[in-house]
Structure 1
Amino acid sequence: MAYDNGALDATLAAAAGNDAVLMRELRGAFLESARRQLDLLKRARCDGNWTVAAMRIKGLAASFHADELLAAADHALNSAPGEPMAIREIESVLTRFGGTARI
């Protein structure tokens, strides 16, 4: 699958306008929040905690129109708690979005 962060960039640009500093801050806030939820997902050992963390990632992805992250969160929702492939998929997406996802 080809990586395209155009929708995320367009959403950030719509919010920040021509303010490059604000654009960087919004991207940083997005990545920080996603990494925090990824950490919770990685530590989840029961269905409930796994589902809550995956739903939070999905909601964040939907809010920022990050379609690839949305798909990765859906994959996690359909996986067993601790599923390594689901975790790696989210990490990979976040890394491509411009942040180090591994915690």
Structure 2
Amino acid sequence: MRLPLMRLTVVSVSMAVTTGAVIVLGLTAGYHDWMLFAVAATFGFVVGGAFGLIFARWLREAQTPLRPESPSMDPEAARRAVRPQARVAYPPAPQQSIA
């Protein structure tokens, strides 16, 4: 079992969100009885738990996106963080021509 903490977090948040949505919908529809909360808790446990497990499995199996190389990455950033007033020449962007 990989990433049990992520699975626990995703499932519990999914259950809480589903239960809260059912409660809000029920209160908006005019149901003000204890049965609303019992139905919402059951619905949140069953549907929210199932959706949370499916979503956690989908997150676990998804590939980690690679960090793209960007022309805006600056190797002198650490030096400027220490001395912000230091002037550093930026290299030209790939779209610019050096002429």
TM-score under structure 1 length normalisation: 0.32
Greater helix content: 1
Q: Choose between structure 1 and 2 for higher RCO, CA contacts under 8 A separated by at least 6 residues.
A: 2
